[in-house]
Amino acid sequence: MENETSSMEKKLSDEKVIVIDFGGQYNQLVARRVRECNVYCEIYSYKTDIERIKEMAPKGIILTGGPNSCYEKDAPSYSKELFELGIPVLGLCYGAQLMMLVLGGKVEKAPVREYGKTQVHVDSTSPLFADVAESTICWMSHFDYISKTASDFCVTAHTADCPVAAAECPDKKLYAIQFHPEVLHTVEGTKMIHNFVRGVCGCTGSWRMDSFVEESVKQIRERVGDGKVLLALSGGVDSSVAAGLLSRAIGKQLTCVFVDHGLLRKDEGDEVEAVFGANGDFDLNFIRVNAQERYYAKLADVTEPERKRKIIGEEFIRVFEEEAKKIGAVDFLAQGTIYPDVVESGLGGESAVIKSHHNVGGLPDYVDFKEIIEPLRDLFKDEVRRAGLELGIPERLVFRQPFPGPGLGIRIIGEVTAEKVRIVQDADAIYREEIAKAGLDRSIGQYFAALTNMRSVGVMGDERTYDYAVALRAVNTVDFMTAECAEIPFAVLQTVMSRIINEVRGVNRVVYDLTSKPPGTIEFE
């Protein structure tokens, strides 16, 4: 079996900028910003061999920040040769300091540490700062500073505490910036990155989603030939877009198996079927497995969260395996792996494994297939969404918020029953409807209703009730590792509360969860 993508993977764009990762927390952001300039970009570890970089012939190289001090023994480094290839290099923060040190400048602990939004004075005659205001707010985060630039470099920016906030050697196309243009707090950061990749590197900006779709379709056809492809379609953004792309490329050679485990949001199963099923918009074989009863039977009396997750995961494998067996051997198993999964799993370059992602790390061994195909492997989430729109997938699927694999199973505290699923589905549907009506659906990171395991006394009409409490959750988050409770206007919450109490049988109380992450997690189990 051939792992990863082969010929499919590369050649998506002739113009490539590479980001060399020194362990900075913003490495993916740098690549995303470059792609926002319509320039294709990939991330590689600082351990990547210079010969490999030469082979790739990038139009530009960006060195990221990192947590180390570049003058310390064993700190991540790169050979001087990188700066002598004639390829433009932009060093950011650690990358800037490293560039100076390697080329003969001096880096040391700064007398004043800079952190946060900082006023920076730039020389707008520098190509990097073309059209940038002479005094501009930038995001600083450094203990060390460049105390002496390498020879041939001139200083092009400074702050009150940092004499070399940027320096450059235009003849050699080398640029160093102490701050972080990739972070949105740097007000004109995108412009600076644009100036580098489109101006200094001379990229024309050919990386666009319409050409990605076109090129991918061609490559998929070449690779798959007349082979058969099997995809587990969850209805989530990534697998839906993968299905759309594969269907465009190979039509009925693709079979999608959609397992409805009865833990989806209200009407979600039907929505997925409406798009991908026989009367839908795509040419493919669609198999919907209604496995609700099976799941509820397995989950009866189970209350322990990890056990619930395990059962849901294992049952999925079983159902999928049964369907795969009916189909027989396939040539390719398709997966909706996306670029952050690849980077985080350490497969993008040689960087350390941050977390092994279920899509990338372990390949299923329960389906008879020869190769894996991952058509979205090079895309960031926002690009996956744009590709989805390009493919004609409806917006409500493309802009769907994250939904966990175990579904409502981990939003129902305690035992899962069909009745509880109905309650949480109805409450959640009302919540989503009102959030959308208030125009907040694209601005809140993730929001949903959950069913607590708490029943309490209430009064409705003149009658005593003893019913469940629904918890509403809404968080804003950048990376889902940390999150803050979202500030939903009180009037919206009140409307949601009143509609849930009135319209959802079995609920007499609605609470709003204020907990951030940490200490809470986003989901309840």
Beta carbon nearer to ligand XMP, 115 or 480: 480
325 residue type, one letter: K
Cα–Cα distance measured from residue 276 to residue 373, given in angstroms and rounded to the nearest whole number: 20
Distance CA 509, CA 144 (A): 54
Report which of 485, 423, 446 is spatially closest to residue 265, judged by C-alpha positions.
423
Q: How far is residue 463's CA from residue 457's CA, in Å, rounded to a whole number?
A: 10
The residue among 281 and 484 lying less far from ligand XMP, judged by its C-beta, is: 484
Q: DSSP letter at 513? A: -
Residue 57 vs 514, nearer CB to ligand XMP: 514
Q: How far is the CB of 446 from ligand XMP (least distance, A)?
A: 5
Which of 441, 406, 407, 435 is CA-nearest to residue 500? Answer: 435
CA pair distance 167, 149, nearest whole angstrom: 7
Cβ proximity to ligand XMP, 210 vs 314, nearer residue? 314
Q: CB of 30: closest distance to ligand XMP in angstroms?
A: 23
DSSP string, 19-60: EEESS-TTHHHHHHHHHHTT-EEEEEETTS-HHHHHHH--SE
Minimal distance, residue 237 CB to ligand XMP, in Å: 11
Contact (Cβ atoms closer than 8 angstroms) between residue 169 and residue 102: no
Identify which of residues 364 and 404 has a Cβ nearer to ligand XMP in the complex. 404
Q: What is the 3-state secondary structure (H, E, C) of 323-340?
A: HHHHHCCEEEEECCCCHH
Phi, psi of 109 (to 5 degrees): -60, 135
Least distance from ligand XMP to the Cβ atom of residue 480, Å: 4
What element of type H or E holds 118? strand 106-122
If the CB atoms of residues 417 and 446 are measured against ligand XMP, the closer one turns out to be: 446
User: In the bound complex, what is the minimum distance in angstroms from residue 312's beta carbon to ligand XMP?
Assistant: 9
Closer residue to ligand XMP (CB): 346 or 402? 402
Min separation Cβ 405 and ligand XMP, Å: 4
Rounded Cα distance between 61 and 16, Å, is 9
Report helix angle 305-327 to 292-299, nearest 10: 150
User: CB-wise, 176 or 522, nearer to ligand XMP?
Assistant: 522
Which of 172/381 has CB closer to ligand XMP?
A: 381
Enzyme catalytic residues: 93, 180, 182
> How far is it, in rounded angstroms, from Cα 403 to Cα 37?
30
**463's tokens:** 């009658």
Residue 475 C-beta: closest distance to ligand XMP, Å: 9
Q: Which two tokens stand for residue 260?
A: 């409805």
Q: CA 398 to CA 388: how far, in whole Å? A: 6
Smallest distance, ligand XMP to C-beta of residue 316, A:
11
Whole-angstrom Cα distance, residue 341 to residue 44?
14
Judged by beta carbon, residue 207 or residue 316, the one nearer ligand XMP is 316
The two three-digit tokens of residue 297, written as one number: 């039977």
**Dihedral class, residue 193 (left if φ above 0, else alpha if ψ from -120 to 50, else beta):** alpha
Give least dist CB 69 to ligand XMP, A. 33
Distance CA 216, CA 211 (A): 8
Which spans of this chain sit near ligand XMP (rule: CB under 6 A)? 402, 404-406, 446, 480, 517, 521-523
**For residue 489, what are the contacts with CB-CB under 8 A and spacing of at least 6?**
438
Task: Provide long-range contacts, Cβ within 8 A and 24+ apart, for 385-390.
Answer: 385/237, 385/241, 386/209, 387/209, 387/212, 387/213, 387/241, 387/245, 388/237, 388/240, 388/241, 388/244, 389/209, 390/209, 390/210, 390/212, 390/213
Query: Which residue type does 2 have?
Result: E
Give the DSSP letter string of 173-241. Answer: TEEEESS-TTSTTSTTHHHHHHIIIIIIS-------HHHHHHHHHHHHHHHHTT--EEEEE-SSHHHHH
Minimum Å distance from CB 399 to ligand XMP?
15
